[in-house]
Homo-oligomer: A and B are copies of this chain.
Amino acid sequence: MPVTPEQEAEIAELRANPRPTLRAVSEGMEAHLYKINPVLDHGFVRVIDYMGDDAAICQAARVSYGKGTKSVQNDEGLIRYLMRHWHSTPFEMCEIKLHVKLPVFVARQWIRHRTANVNEYSARYSILDREFYIPAPEQLAAQSVINNQGRGETLSAEEAARVLEYLKGDAARCYDHYEEMIGQEGQQGLARELARMNLPANIYTQWYWKVDLHNLFHFLRLRADAHAQYEIRVYAEEICRLVADWVPAAYGAFEDYRMGGATLSSKAIDCVRRMLKGEQVTQETSGMSKGEWREFEGVIG
């Protein structure tokens, strides 16, 4: 369980008291507010706040005094147009604030997206909980022999068992020593800012993360992608589900033009044109490298 009963009670209290507002309201998002959406073994994603909805994107695009366009249908058409032509500023007019609990090695990838606001739980000030990410056995895979930085085949049961033993044992021992260092009875205890250095990268941390919709889409395109590391991808996928309920039209356009789309190089476009005219194009006659050609074949099926 990622949260305590006390925390559950705090969440329930926050959901118990609707108040009137004149702001844009997304019904789809109201249903998610504050709730725990579990990810991995101890992690989660919670929506803490949001600003705007599909109509707000159109309202900003038109710099209008009232609502965006006259109808939901027009809104969707405008949103698809904006997405297709890389008009990013109207999407920046929506904002979301999330509370995320995640392993430190995932947090280290995540933070590389700089166009967001972050408040992380401070291990200088507070004591971290004894919670570590231990992968499910089917997630334990070998180094990929194809792309040099991903995963290949799943480990054998025996190897997986050995890995899990290491991960569990080392995490437990490191945490035992962390606790001893900061809190040995009758002693002052080592400063927390120092003791934390003994904790492995699969310990959980948490943060508030706030980002606008345009930059969130950029994050999701990279991190919900099949090449992203599984442990961050599952967070991105969970966020995708939340965003689909928040701004359905914008998310639909994102799926069509970004997630499901592909960028072709000028060489690749040239090949498509030749192929459509009936030419048999091969890697050798394409002008592409082997890697490019393999990726191109993936796009044209």
Which A residues are closer than 8 A to B by beta carbons?
3, 7, 10-11, 13-15, 17-25, 30, 33-34, 48-52, 56, 59-61, 63-67, 77, 80-81, 84, 86, 89-90, 92-93, 95, 97, 99, 103-105, 108, 111-112, 114-115, 117-122, 124-125, 133, 135, 139-144, 148-153, 155, 159, 163, 166-167, 170-171, 173-174, 177, 180-182, 184, 187-194, 196-202, 206-208, 210, 212, 222, 229, 255-257, 259-269, 272-273, 275-276, 289, 291-292, 295, 299-301
Contact = CB atoms under 8 A, between A and B. Distances in A.
Contact of A262 (B15, B182, B263, B301): B263
Contact of A264 (B67, B142, B173, B262): B262
Given A22-B18, A89-B119, A193 B63 contact: no
A159 to B, nearest CB: 6
Nearest to A53: B49
Given A18-B20, A190-B140, A198-B166, A65 B97 contact: no
B166 A292 contact: no
A25 B19 CA distance: 7
22 contacts: A11-B65, A23-B50, A52-B97, A63-B119, A63-B206, A93-B119, A93-B210, A105-B197, A114-B115, A139-B194, A140-B190, A143-B182, A143-B189, A150-B193, A151-B193, A166-B198, A170-B170, A200-B200, A256-B267, A259-B266, A262-B264, A276-B300
A15 B262 CA distance: 43
Contacts of A3: 65
B80 A289 contact: yes
How many copies make up the complex? 4
Contacts of A92: 117, 210
B63 A191 contact: no
A92 B22 CA distance: 23
A191 B93 CA distance: 29
A271 to B, nearest CB: 11
A181 to B, nearest CB: 5
Given A142-B190, A191-B152, A197 B84 contact: no
